[in-house]
Structure 1
Amino acid sequence: MTPSPPDVPAQSHLVLAADGITDWRIIIAADAPPWQSHAAAELAHHLREITGACFPVLDESSPVSPNEIHVGPSTRWDRATTGLSALGSEGCVLRTGRHTLLIAGNGPRGTLYGVGLFLARHLGCRWFTPTVKRIPRQPRPTIAALDEVHEPAFEYREPYCFESMDPDWAVRNRCNGHFPAFGAEHGGGLRYALPFVHTFNEFVPVERHFDTHPEYFSEVGGQRLRHEAQLCLAHPAVFELVLAGVRERLSHEPGLRIISVSQNDRGNPCQCAACRAVDEAEGSFSGSLIRFVNRIAAAIEPDHPDVAIDTLAYRYTRKPPRVTRPRANVIVRLCTIECCFAHPLESCREKVLLRDEAGTGATFVEDLQAWSRICERLYVWDYVTNFANYVLPFPNLGVLAANLRLFARHHVKGVFAQGANPPGGGGEFAALRAWVLAQLMWDPAADESALIDEFLTGVYGRGGPAIRRYLDAFNRLVRDNLHLHASIYDRPDSDYLTPALLDLADRCFDEAEQLAADAEQLARIRHARLPVRFARIAQLPVDAPGREALINAFRADAMAAGITQLSEHIPLARTIDHLHRGVQLTHFARYPGGWSPFDETWPP
């Protein structure tokens, strides 16, 4: 938030209602678009919940009222929107004048976000989850003089998990990503063409083309690959096929603003003579990729000047090219998949290196710095769960804010934070992470500790402080023991899941359960305890007395909570079967050859 000079005199305080009565009216444009009407309805609804008074919504053709709340730019008070045009597409202003309050923003979402900010900052509203909120009852709410200007730190903000998919929750928490089912009234979001990522095979399917044109696909060790292949980015026919596919998608969905042209989710970049010559000149496999994507972006720009081509800096393409810069209409999503998630990226001692052709390496932070120097629209694809074991305690809560501040300092424009998103959700503290991330993606300078406390108290009541003691102990364990690292594919016997920590967790959850105010709050606390129970069971010897009963009870409670998967792509029933049989709960078993995210090197 940055202050701006007041444009109109303001009263020192505005009293919005008293004892269930108000003479304030909400004013919108006579031809208000759906999102402006929805913003006014949101404000009226919440003000009624807060005050008990009815705030009528009128348009500007109605007679002037003694006290007016203008939602969206107003012809009655046009001077108050001074400076709004200088903000980004989602910036907003909150301003008071004599008997007047203005909440207005840019684009289809700025005014909606302004309403949410006003309710949160000045009336204490919180929307922790789609079903748990805090709307404080205030018989006489009083608003001090306001002159606030707000802009998000990142243009694209997506905390991705099942618990963040509700579009009303997303708008109220100012998330604008691809996946919530936004309607016109929500102002839409930053929509990608589908599929969202890993699109090479969508544009040039190996099943359709390999038999007749194996040269379209990556050459490795002198052989063209049918399986686990990428594209040959030097082949002119591949370029034409991808370009045609991009144009076809854009013609079918004219509202799209981003389309991904990105490597398949595997290794094996093409090493034919032509691709290799480019990559050797660029010092990275990203060289041939960025040159290819730049050509696609240049080809579509005349007909689609508002569309960006998206690609990845992922695994073997994480290191940026030394010569070629991404075009202005290219988005690069830099992925953190190799990193430790227990410590801030900037300070972690586990320096995961990706090797270059000289045998030297670069850390993720060094690659982030290098990409930020050459890429105008750099996004980060971050990971905020354990994909091998969604419900296993994961020690990353203490690094979320530090990493987002790092991204903001290096001019990252968007953040996709991938959590657990199977039907039913259930990732460990997924709703907590989603809410905290949403606030920090808008303002990375926000106090993350205070945010965590707000959520825990708002969702778990008097049991919140007990749960916080466990979370703080977990964070201290990895913070004070720098040899304890966390990947996104960790097993239940990971070194940071110590018996002492789990003992403390049980004591804290016992206390929280005893403090629950009602059955609904108790159910939420017990849901939050499932990860500790899961870790306990998975660490037991297969022949431990009572183990089968513990597994069966856990399964019943997980199903009652709506959980359908405990691991990425693996049904709940299969993981439960693995528990019964004592099978190691590790993600890598699903990949041919035991693939690890740390095995990519240059040169091949």
Structure 2
Amino acid sequence: MEMKNLLLLFLLSAFVPLSALDIVLPENPHKYEKMAADELFEAFSKCGIPDLRITDYQSVNSPAIRLTSSKKEGNDESWQLKSSGKDLVITGASPIGTLYGAYALLRKAGVYFIAWDAAVYPDLSKWELPQLDERSAPAFSGRQIFNRYPNIFRDNRAKESDKKFWLYSLRNGFNGTTPVFNHKALYLGDEMRWTTRVHFCHNYYEYLRPDEYFADHPEYFSMNKAGKRDANPHRRGTQLCLSNPDVVRIVADKMKEFIRLDRENLPQDQWPLIYNLTPNDAANEICFCPPCKAVVAEEGCETGLLIRFTNAVARQVHEVYPGIRILTRAAMGSEKLPVTKPLPEVTVYYADDFTNASCFVPQTAERRENILRWVKAFDRPVIWDYWNMGLGAYFTPPRPEVVLDAMIDDVKWMAANGVVSLFTEAERDFLIPQNFLDLEFFVLAQLMIDPEQDAEKLIDIFLAGYYGKAAEPVKKYLSALRKGVKEHKGVQLCCAALRWDYLTAQFMLENYLVMQEALKLAADDPASLLRVKAECLPLFWSIVYYRRDTETLFAQNGITMAEVLDQLKEYSGQVLANFGFESRKLAAQQKKLSEKLMQLDANLAIPEKFAGIAGCRVFAWPHQKRVAHSKARPVEDKDALAGKSVMSNFHKSRKFSDRRTRSFTFYDYEQKRSIALNVDPVDEEYHWYTIKKVRVSKNSIFTAHLWMTQIDLSQAWEFPHAGREEVNDYDLHFRAKFTGPSFFPGSAKEDAVWVDLVVLVPEMKRD
């Protein structure tokens, strides 16, 4: 009995809540050890632990958290949590390991920094210091999400939001950023300490500039299939001639100059370790000159040419600056391994082919097999991944969707199969943001540190902390999206997702009502309420955008389209205002938002020639899809019936001689059906043209000028009740004009193709 009493007394004493806690700094602490102490103090204070103090190693009371560091070996960010009597010792590899250990302890206590503007601080008034003996390190050496937060905060002078973002990034273990923000990052790991001298990708012409060299040395630049050398100064569509030894020399000399400048202008602990040298964008091939083609033939793929060139540059650079690493990217779609391996000082990003891949489902078995071959063949394999990017061209129209399950599956697989670093490109749309993007950022951040964590538990932590009392209905909406994405039958591309199978009128009504419940539950918490409103935006947009499909069902439930549109306008404005932009900058962003919303309430009159025909649908500049790499845009035009016209002058005169520039097309993604009309322009005035017998679906477009102009027609689709598919049959009339000397020699106007209106006139009689 006495032994049992002693044991009980011991157990009770071991679990007495903390009445005081010392956080002990080591002798001569460096900045991250000081930050670890400050972060522990702040978090535990907010959690209700009494009598906290930060003290030095000579004045300590127990229990205490003792901070110390060990010597770093290589790219070491590890930490150890080890109990010592009543105390807990956090030891980390210098410089960052101790701070990472502090964050690991906070996670064990239930403290999470879930978003740039939100954190979870549980009640720890009855918490005790745990008994621990564990060592850990992040699963990925390089961890970065390119999400556009720093760009938007900088460009709109949101200083306080910017500070919060960088602290959030540190707290969640991100150790890289795009180089232009190196000076703002609170920590950069060795895997992503990039130079700021060049752009972090698509930067060949920053080492060898066309404006300096092309006139006298066109041989330095890539040759196309027709045997012509060219150089687009905007880093797009053309490359360098990678087999030319003079190109190697010039690029290596320029890189050495950049290294010298960095070392002259930065303290040694901030010297970049990595210099990016990556091909330009939007070019399907590198170079077709005979020497380059010979290298490709020997290597079996263009990536071999890329690696030979990068290796040659690296050898010359390392003669002067040993220890520097050069980062390049494998050419898009490079599935075949080259014969030549990269040197140890060359790192190759294996970039996902986002134009042909889906970010909404886990990588296919074939894709994973290809990645594994690269992982096994190359030292320090790195993946460049893409999500549903919120750039205008890729998120138009906005869609309710998530990448959550694909991301969880992929990151766990990558960690288990030797991927060293992960760079995720996932730009946020700041006007109508993607659903649950901050949740996905949080879960990815946690899994890059420890992929063995329970992802569903992390999701629940985020939902409760971010949406407060509304967490349950918000989770119901999230679950509906996850289920819908999983069950979608087709392939949705990262850059061109179409209308989802699940995005029916019934789905939209059910989830509109779910989110109305969430709004009510969050009504007394302004922060949670605003976050719920943000999640409503893509759904509400879709409800109004597809009003022909939704209006009747919503009306039957007492909800008008005007009501939903008013909510969308109000909520999107409030969400935008929350980012803390400078007033003048906020006004500019609000103008962009208003222009975007015009797609939904543009009052386009039916042209006089179609007056009296029931069921006509009118489309114009508000329905222009933003197309990647296109300069097609709405412009004021006094001759346009809509007031503005979609004008495309892409490629200027180079492409206007192509007969295809005179072609207009109706294309349906679901039927994979294209109907084209070739036009012979007669003057520089507007004329009406007709494409007969088109059947509109949920994913139909009208295109002009090599698809640079794309007018979205999906709003015209009507659910075919009783199988009456003919309700979606139309004749398509469009009003267009051609201008410029490529069409009319001697013209003083700009070469361009203009589209004013697209009118769908129903084949069947409408009441």
User: TM-score w.r.t. structure 2 length?
Assistant: 0.66
Q: Which residue number in structure 2 is paired with residue 330 of structure 1?
A: 346
Correspondence 1:349-364 to 2 at 5 A: 363-364=366-367
1:115 partner amino acid = A
Q: Which residue number in structure 1 is paired with residue 725 of structure 2?
A: none
Contact 1:313 1:334 in 2 (8 A): yes
Runs of 5+ in structure 2 lacking a partner? 1-9, 151-161, 264-270, 553-559, 578-584, 603-619, 632-649, 651-705, 709-767
Shift of 1:12: 10
Q: Which residue number in structure 2 is paired with residue 307 of structure 1?
A: 324
Cα pair distance change 1:234/1:518, threshold 3 Å? same
Q: Which residue number in structure 1 is paired with residue 295 of structure 2?
A: 278
Cα pair distance change 1:243/1:342, threshold 3 Å? same
**Is 1:346 paired with 2:367?**
no
Correspondence 1:248-327 to 2 at 5 A: 248-254=257-263, 255-267=271-283, 268-316=285-333, 318-327=334-343
Shift of 1:401: 1.1
Indicate the SS of the match to 2:22: strand
**Is 1:108 paired with 2:125?**
no
Cα pair distance change 1:537/1:302, threshold 3 Å? farther
Correspondence 1:321-470 to 2 at 5 A: 321-336=337-352, 337=354, 338-346=356-364, 363-386=366-389, 387=391, 388-389=394-395, 391-421=398-428, 426-470=433-477
**Is 1:70 paired with 2:66?**
yes
Distance in 1, Cα, partners of 2:548 & 2:458: 38
Distance in 1, Cα, partners of 2:432 & 2:505: 27
Shift of 1:292: 0.8
Q: Which residue number in structure 1 is paired with residue 485 of structure 2?
A: 478
Contact 2:351 2:384 in 1 (8 A): yes
Contact 2:540 2:565 in 1 (8 A): no
Contact 1:346 1:406 in 2 (8 A): no
Shift of 1:169: 0.9
Contact 1:105 1:112 in 2 (8 A): yes
Shift of 1:289: 0.4
Cα pair distance change 1:242/1:182, threshold 3 Å? closer
Cα pair distance change 1:556/1:340, threshold 3 Å? same
Shift of 1:549: 7.9
Cα pair distance change 1:559/1:51, threshold 3 Å? closer
Which of 7, 32, 37 is the equivalent residue of 1:35?
Answer: 32
Q: Which residue number in structure 1 is paired with residue 521 of structure 2?
A: 515
Q: Which residue number in structure 2 is paired with residue 76 of structure 1?
A: none
Q: Percent identity?
A: 24
Which of 250, 254, 257 is the equivalent residue of 1:241?
Answer: 250
**Is 1:134 paired with 2:120?**
yes
1:535-574 C-alpha deviation (Å, 9 max, x unpaired): 2233335998986886576345323322899xxxx95455
Shift of 1:11: 10
**Is 1:219 paired with 2:223?**
yes
1:72 partner amino acid = T
Shift of 1:366: 3.2
Contact 1:26 1:56 in 2 (8 A): yes
Shift of 1:92: 0.6
Distance in 1, Cα, partners of 2:624 & 2:500: 12
Q: Which residue number in structure 2 is paired with residue 51 of structure 1?
A: 48
Which of 553, 576, 596 is the equivalent residue of 1:575?
Answer: 596
Distance in 1, Cα, partners of 2:374 & 2:430: 35
Shift of 1:522: 1.4
Distance in 1, Cα, partners of 2:517 & 2:495: 31
**Is 1:172 paired with 2:168?**
no
Q: Which residue number in structure 2 is paired with residue 4 of structure 1?
A: none
Contact 1:88 1:106 in 2 (8 A): no
Distance in 1, Cα, partners of 2:231 & 2:244: 16
* Bigger Cα displacement from structure 2, 393-402 vs 215-224: 393-402
Shift of 1:110: 1.1
Shift of 1:285: 0.9
Indicate the SS of the match to 1:148: strand
Shift of 1:291: 0.8
Contact 1:217 1:230 in 2 (8 A): yes
Distance in 1, Cα, partners of 2:497 & 2:562: 20
Cα pair distance change 1:85/1:208, threshold 3 Å? closer
Shift of 1:364: 2.9
Q: Which residue number in structure 1 is paired with residue 657 of structure 2?
A: none
Which of 185, 194, 211 is the equivalent residue of 1:192?
Answer: 194
Cα pair distance change 1:107/1:86, threshold 3 Å? closer
Distance in 1, Cα, partners of 2:221 & 2:562: 49
Distance in 1, Cα, partners of 2:432 & 2:313: 37
Cα pair distance change 1:302/1:110, threshold 3 Å? farther
Cα pair distance change 1:475/1:225, threshold 3 Å? same
Shift of 1:176: 1.0
Matched residue count? 552
Shift of 1:63: 4.0
Shift of 1:306: 3.5
Distance in 2, Cα, partners of 1:239 & 1:263: 14
Contact 1:405 1:444 in 2 (8 A): yes
Cα pair distance change 1:583/1:369, threshold 3 Å? same
1:31 partner amino acid = N
1:320-371 C-alpha deviation (Å, 9 max, x unpaired): 4331111222221112213112221135xxxxxxxxxxxxxxx432321221
Cα pair distance change 1:161/1:101, threshold 3 Å? same
Shift of 1:13: 7.6
Q: Which residue number in structure 1 is paired with residue 78 of structure 2?
A: 91
Cα pair distance change 1:404/1:191, threshold 3 Å? same
Two-structure CA RMSD over aligned residues (Å): 3.3
Shift of 1:96: 0.5
Cα pair distance change 1:548/1:68, threshold 3 Å? closer
Q: Which residue number in structure 2 is paired with residue 559 of structure 1?
A: 573
Indicate the SS of the match to 2:405: coil
Distance in 2, Cα, partners of 1:389 & 1:279: 36
Q: Which residue number in structure 2 is paired with residue 527 of structure 1?
A: 534
Distance in 1, Cα, partners of 2:562 & 2:497: 20
Shift of 1:114: 0.6
Distance in 1, Cα, partners of 2:474 & 2:377: 44
Cα pair distance change 1:179/1:231, threshold 3 Å? closer
Shift of 1:183: 7.0
Distance in 1, Cα, partners of 2:499 & 2:431: 26
Contact 1:25 1:58 in 2 (8 A): yes
Distance in 2, Cα, partners of 1:323 & 1:302: 25
2:129 partner amino acid = I
Shift of 1:271: 0.9
1:168-219 C-alpha deviation (Å, 9 max, x unpaired): 1112211112249677994434322231111112112223322222111110
Contact 2:22 2:60 in 1 (8 A): no
Shift of 1:305: 3.7
Cα pair distance change 1:246/1:504, threshold 3 Å? farther
2:338 partner amino acid = R
Distance in 1, Cα, partners of 2:463 & 2:404: 13
Indicate the SS of the match to 1:211: coil
Q: Which residue number in structure 2 is paired with residue 602 of structure 1?
A: none
Distance in 1, Cα, partners of 2:432 & 2:26: 40
Shift of 1:99: 2.7
1:234-259 C-alpha deviation (Å, 9 max, x unpaired): 11221122112222222222411221
